[in-house]
Structure 1
Amino acid sequence: MASAPQQSLPLFYNQLEPLSSQTHADFRIRVRDKAPFLAKQHAVPVTVEEFPLVQRFLPIVFSVGDDPVPLALMGLNEGVNTFFDDEGTLLEPNFYVPAYIRRYPYLLARLRTDADELSLCFDPSSDTIGAFEDGDKLFENGEPTETTKNILQFNEQFEQAGARTAMFMKDLKELNILIDGEVTIQQEGNEQPFIYRGFMMIDENKLNELRGDQLRKIVQNGMLPLIYAHLFSLALMRDIFGRQVRLGKMPQPQLVNPA
């Protein structure tokens, strides 16, 4: 049986297997109200299309390194998620779940490094897909069901959003307005503040100093609203901190990295 490349699997994925009408003819999918893989996950990638919705609930920051990506923070400390409990149950009825989470356990992947075509794959370690007696069928008479077609369409849309996000990040780097982020939060009763680093953010001062041609470009290509969605969302860092306090998930005051 052919298998997708196993190296450098994305976040959450343990294995990848191409979905096949022959091998998986009797497979079904089940809807679960828990996502155990999220229990200890404090940050997830987001696409630029999601910024307007994400910024209402979660801080948006950028990962460090040569190829930064946008991340939504569900906790400020490694291993802390303030929106899902230890079993992966969503704690908030009013919450936007990022597409990266909703995509799992499916993924479009190249089965060969020399091929351009992407194939729909899944993580066989997930308990939401398998040869179950209940659930929605993935194939009927050797053909993809409407359920499978919808999964494929969602993954195709996610790939397209990912490409647009990569272009946004490329333009952002060229503008040279990303800086190392730092947030200091002083908790009442503690002498030492909590200092959060290990992420990148947009420097508002550098943004205001952009040349006219640069500013026109980011207005015309739609980057400016996305930049401000990120900047506005940073105010939620203190809200996430407060959620950690209420949930009793606070470390000792020290230097900590949210991303």
Structure 2
Amino acid sequence: MASAPQQASLPLFYNALEPLSSGAHAAFKLRQIDSAPFLVNQHAIPVTVDEFIHVQRSMPIVFTAGDEPVPIALMGLNEGVNVFIDDEGKLSDPSTYVPAYVRRYPFMLARLTPDAQELSLCFDSTADVIGAFEEGEPLFEDGKPTAIVQNILQFNEMFEEAGARTGNFMRELRELGLLMEGEISIQPEGAPQPFVYRGFQMVNEEKLNELRGDQLRKIQKNGMLPLLYAHLFSLQLMPQLFDRQNRAGKVPLPPLAS
């Protein structure tokens, strides 16, 4: 039987990983998912470049701090705040785009051993939506994966491919030197001082506009340019996100006047 993948550093939301097997999980079923309680207190979600255009309509897109930044969608401006999810883990507005990182849970592709060449379909064994239940969609029939498993596998393969494209995008972004430390200042009415948010990176629009002609042609040709502007346009949603937090009573105490 396949061994469990390395668990030293599990991705966000995952508490354990187990390879899906027709032998060990022949009776397993997948319950219908209508909520995501694990999202309630999560304010930032990783996204791929394939999703930028969809995400920027409702959430700011920024990049994590550090030498190996990744793009994230902000579902709140403060730790532990998600203004798109209610206390039961359901979307406040069903039309809100849900990042693929969330939609793939509790499944993901992972290497079973550090030197494995192929990725295997695994699942979080602590998730309460998969197990030997009486209700739900069967994952195996006659020892073979059902259509639902095939669809899950295909979705996760597409996610990995999008992740590779995102990695290439981020390498190009760093090579062009377009990232800078981010800072957003929001001045609510009646507050003595603005709320200032830092701890992320963003594209330096001034440097973007100063790119050489050959550099600009390259990012136009490889599709980076609309993605960069999707990110920049999405930053205009920061005040709206702050306002949603404010209406929900989830904004920290106002800063004191100096």
Same fold (TM over 0.5): yes
Q: Within the alignment, does 1:20 sit opposite 2:28 as a pair?
A: no
Identity, in percent, stands at 66
Distance (whole Å) between structure 1 residues aligned to residue 17 and residue 88 of structure 2: 23
1:47–1:70 contact (8 Å) kept in structure 2: yes
Asked if 1:100 is matched to 2:101, the reply is: yes
Name the TM-score, length of structure 1 as normaliser. 0.97
Residues 1:248 and 2:233 are matched in the alignment: no
Answer whether contact 2:192 2:255 (CA < 8 A) is retained.
Answer: no
Match of 2:84 in 1: 83
8 Å CA contact 2:191, 2:255 repeated in 1? no
* Distance in 1 of aligned mates of 2:121 and 2:95: 31
Partner SS state of residue 108, structure 2: strand
Offset at residue 32 of structure 1 (A): 2.2
Tell me the CA shift for residue 192 of structure 1. Answer: 1.9
CA distance in 2 between partners of 1:215 and 1:7 (Å)? 41
Alignment of 1:125-164 (within 5 A): 125-164=126-165
5+ residue gaps, structure 2: none
Q: Does 1:29 align with 2:30?
A: yes
Paired residue type of 2:105: Y
Alignment TM-score, normalising by the size of structure 2: 0.97
Q: Distance in 1 between matches of 2:158 and 2:64?
A: 23
**CA distance in structure 2 between the partners assigned to 1:251 and 1:48 by the alignment:** 31
Q: How does 1:61-210 map to 2 (within 5 A)?
A: 61-210=62-211
Distance in 1, matches of 2:186 and 2:137, equals: 47
In the alignment, the residues of structure 2 paired with residue 31 and residue 251 of structure 1 have an alpha-carbon distance, to the nearest angstrom, of: 36
Stretches of 4+ aligned residues off by more than 6 angstroms = none
Distance 2:35 2:246 in 1: 23
Quick check: 2:28–2:140 contact (8 Å CA) kept in 1?
Answer: yes
Distance 1:111 1:245 in 2: 45
Tell me if structure 2 keeps the 8 A contact 1:195–1:254.
no
Root-mean-square deviation (CA, aligned residues, Å) is: 1.0
Q: Which runs of 5+ in 1 are unaligned?
A: none
